[in-house]
Amino acid sequence: MVEWLLVALSAATGAYGLHRARAGAAGERRAARGDALMGLGMAVMAVPAVATAGRPWGAGLFAVVFAAVGLYAGFRAFARGRGPGRAGHLHHAVGAFAMAYMALAMTGDGHHHHHAGAPLLTGLLLVYFAGYVVRSAGALVPAGPAGPVGPADARRELAGACRISMGTGMLTMLLMM
């Protein structure tokens, strides 16, 4: 049941990212495309194993696709130098590589096979995503007295809430490994 709830939540955040990618300003559209890709990718990855039984190519394909996405996001982050958007690209690279790692952990005969460094890597990813969720949640808390909320503020807050849900989803998937 948890897996299907994670699929629904991830698909909803991915769909909202697609909506933002069509409606926002140029910089926001780039970030929204990355959020949409991560949300929809998480939805696919969270589908319970029983629903994908008989498709042994799935985990390997996921690993290749997410590794390619991670390389692209990493390239974009370093191509930007210290410019705006670099942190978002780095976060998407970490997320994509985490999903590739989880896909590789799903390969085999249905049991999770880990190499010697996997518990350490899993722990580091858990710490990263826990920190990301806490930082993202802190960014939603107003620093001073709250004034009237306009449409741009509401969109920004909803995008932040989607990022929190994706970070929480990554934590959940890592804990379920």
Q: Domain spans of the chain?
A: 2-175
**Mean pLDDT for the stretch of residues 41-68:** 81
Residue 96 in tokens: 């994509």
pTM for the model = 0.82
pLDDT-based confidence at 53, cuts 50/70/90?
A: low
Predicted pLDDT of residue 124 = 96
Q: What is the pLDDT of residue 144?
A: 66
Do the beta carbons of residue 71 and residue 99 sit within 8 Å?
no
**CA dihedral sign, ordered 154, 159, 163, 168:** positive
pLDDT at 60: 83
* Residues 45 and 62: beta-carbon distance below 8 Å: yes
Higher pLDDT among residues 53 and 41, named by residue: 41
